[in-house]
Structure 1
Amino acid sequence: MDIRSLGYRTDLIFPRFDGEIFDRGGYLVALTPQNPSFFWGNFVLFPGPPGAGDLKRWKGVFDEEVRSRLDVDHYAFGWDGVDGEMGEIGPFDAEGFSLNRSVVLAADRVTIPRKYDRSVVVRPIEGDDEWEEATRNQIACSDPCFDPENYKIFKDGQMARYRKMAASGLGFWFGAFLEEKLVADLGIFSTGSLGRFQNVGTHPDYRRRGICGALVHQASLFVLDTMKVETLVMVADKDYHALAIYESVGFIPKERQVGAYWWGKKR
């Protein structure tokens, strides 16, 4: 299956590292067995938006390809495209699916944003203590609607994966430090000439100070200078407050990406 979307193409960097990807021609399956609660690590990607009758068919595909292999309590469907096509989404709404609508941004060069904290030191993290700091920061940045215990399990598994990827030379995890305290972090990992950002997070106590802009700018420069990356890709929720920050660093909206997910309810 040929994938047009920069977003979904770079999403597959991660299950390709330590999971499984099955290309069935008419759809693609991505599995992350060590983190079954990760929606977008265990999903089915279709070549286009849903049409009439596709909810039942897509759920059947997911049951066969994902639920038969892993103990999951969700459905997650993506559909390839660049314009945010919705298709026949009504039946998904009726069954309680949530819609994931994102903006895909890209940059081949970056600029210093107007709001920029010059006191922050940005560098790749290293060692057990700094990885633990980054994990704690990621948890502190989570949506308060998430169950804290379950989210910690999910985030611990996700960060363990990123650490292995960094150790394998596929990218870096960056921390932004103020007086040796990690106050923000993100990851960038590559496939070919594309580099994909992951989980930009600034601690709630340190927001609106230009730290995020400095982190994104300096991490981007580092990767463009040290890796064979020509284009950096970032995917963010269409209503996410940090979109303006990313654009101020030079990232340009290129595509709109859509998916749908459901979890924790009876079918």
Structure 2
Amino acid sequence: MQLRSLGYRTDLIFARFHGQVTDLDEAVAVANPRSPAHYFGNLLVFRQPPRSGDRLRWEALFAQHIGRPPVTPHRLFGWDVPAQGHAEMTEFLEAGYRLEENLVMAAPRLHAPPALNTRAEFRPVSDTDEEWAQVLENQVASREDGYEEAPYRRFKASQLLGLRDMCRAGLGLWYGAFQDGKLVADLGVFSDGAGLLRYQSVGTAPAYRRQGLCGSLTFFAGEHAQKHFGAERLVIVADDHAQAKRVYASVGFEDAERQQLLLFRGG
């Protein structure tokens, strides 16, 4: 099954490396037995949006191909409809599912932001434990509100081990902005090997925000990664947050599609 959505197609860059991707004809099953609680590592992406009466069948497919409680404590369903087809979600929502929406933005190339930061040094992070430890600290410091530090640190430490392995395998590069002698912003860019590049985990330390670091690093990483991988299109996925959207738009990203998912937490 060839996925059409830029969001899901580039999600599979990570899914294929860390887990298993299985074509079920009507859906793609993504499973990561090593991290069964990771949402985007364990989900079903259907060819069509949900219709009335789909819930029990979809749940049975999830249990069969992804997992069930207590090992897999959630259920997550997406659908490969970039043009935002009509979805009948009432029975899912009434059963306790929550609708999640992400904004997928894309660009053939980027340009410098209006407020280009010229003070920081922008470069790929070196493959040393010291610099990757700085990446972890920055990712934890720049986490969104609502996440407790200790469990978030454990999650990020595990995630970054996998992303570092992907960089070592030649699938991506991690970039940092270094200022005042330390890493203060970072992100990753990964290739699908077929012309697409996907950004991952953009984070700026709270004390260094509003200095143009995020936009400048996004621009630098895009230019560098395109030259390195020879890619034709850059993709970034974010929740529909006004500030993030403005930053990405400032370097040339445009709205491409909206990614919808139904999430049930707790089994």
Q: TM-score interval w.r.t. the shorter chain? A: over 0.9
Q: After superposition, what is the alpha-carbon deviation per residue over 1:105-127, rounded to whole angstroms, capped at 9, x for unaligned?
A: 11121111112211111111121
Q: Deviations over 1:198-217 (max 9, x none)?
A: 01111122111111011001
| 2-structure distance, mates of 1:238, 1:83 | 17
Distance 1:97 1:241 in 2: 27
CA contact (8 A) 1:30 1:44 kept: yes
Q: Which AA in structure 2 matches 1:189?
A: F
Distance 2:250 2:25 in 1: 39
Correspondent of 2:222 among 220, 227, 235: 220
Q: Once the 2 structures are TM-superposed, how far is the Cα of residue 37 of structure 1 from its aligned partner?
A: 2.0
Deviation at 1:145, TM superposition (A): 2.0
Structure 1, residues 78-137: CA drift from partner, whole Å, max 9, x if none?
A: 110112335111222222222221121111211111122111111111210111111121
| Distance of 2:190 and 2:52 partners within structure 1 | 37
Name the CA distance, whole Å, in 2 between partners of 1:85 and 1:132: 43
Q: Distance in 1 between matches of 2:120 and 2:228?
A: 21
2:202 partner SS: strand
Change beyond 3 A, Cα 1:69–1:23: farther
Give the distance between the partners of 1:139 and 1:84, measured in 2 at CA.
33
The question of whether the paired residues in 2 share the 8 Å contact of 1:86 and 1:258 is answered with no
SS in 1 for 2:238: strand
In structure 2, what is the equivalent of residue 2 of structure 1?
2
> Which range moved further: 209-218 or 80-89?
80-89
Deviations 1:7-49 (A, max 9, x none): 1000000111121111111111111222222101111110121
Tell me the SS of whatever aligns to 1:82. coil
Residues 131 and 80 of structure 1, relative CA distance in 2, 3 Å threshold: same
**Structure 1 unmatched ranges of 5 or more:** none
Q: In structure 2, what is the equivalent of residue 171 of structure 1? A: 172
Query: In the alignment, what sits opposite 1:114?
Result: 114
Conserved 8 A contact 1:113-1:249: yes
For 1:151 and 1:54, the matched residues in 2 are separated by 34
Q: Tell me the distance in 2 between the aligned counterparts of 1:148 and 1:91.
A: 35
Q: Which moved further from structure 2: 109-118 or 214-223? A: 109-118
Give the superposition deviation at 1:227. 1.3
Tell me which residue corresponds to 1:155.
156
Deviates most, 56-65 or 144-153:
144-153
Query: For residue 97 of structure 1, what is the aligned residue in structure 2?
Result: 97
Secondary structure of the 2:66 match is helix
> In structure 2, what is the equivalent of residue 186 of structure 1?
187
Q: Partners in 2 of 1:86 and 1:236 — Cα distance?
A: 22
AA partner of residue 168 (structure 2) = A
Match in the other structure for 1:244: 246
TM-score when normalising by structure 1: 0.94
The share of aligned pairs that are identical, in percent, is 39
1:138-149 residue pairs with structure 2 within 5 A? Answer: 138-149=139-150
Contact 1:117–1:211 (Cα < 8 Å) also in 2? yes
Q: Measure the CA separation in 2 of the matches of 1:141 and 1:86.
A: 36
Paired AA for residue 245 in structure 1: V
Worse-superposed segment, 120-129 or 147-156: 147-156
Give 2:204's match in structure 1, choosing from 202, 205, 220: 202
The Cα shift of 1:147 comes to: 3.9
Task: Tell me whether 1:257 sits opposite 2:264 in the alignment.
Answer: no
| 85-94 vs 48-57, greater mean Cα deviation | 85-94
Query: Within 1, Cα distance between the matches of 2:32 and 2:113?
Result: 36
Map of 2:23 onto structure 1? 23
Moved more, 230-239 or 159-168: 230-239
Task: Give the superposition deviation at 1:68.
Answer: 5.3
Partner of 2:72: 72
Q: Which moved more, 1:223-232 or 1:69-78?
A: 69-78
The answer to whether the 8 A contact 1:33-1:70 is kept is no
Determine if the alignment matches structure 1 residue 129 to structure 2 residue 130: yes
Contact 1:34 1:157 (C-alpha < 8 Å) held by counterparts: no
Does 245-254 or 90-99 show the bigger shift?
A: 90-99
Measured in 2, the distance between the counterparts of 1:23 and 1:97 equals 24
Task: Report the number of matched residues.
Answer: 265
SS in 2 for 1:104: strand
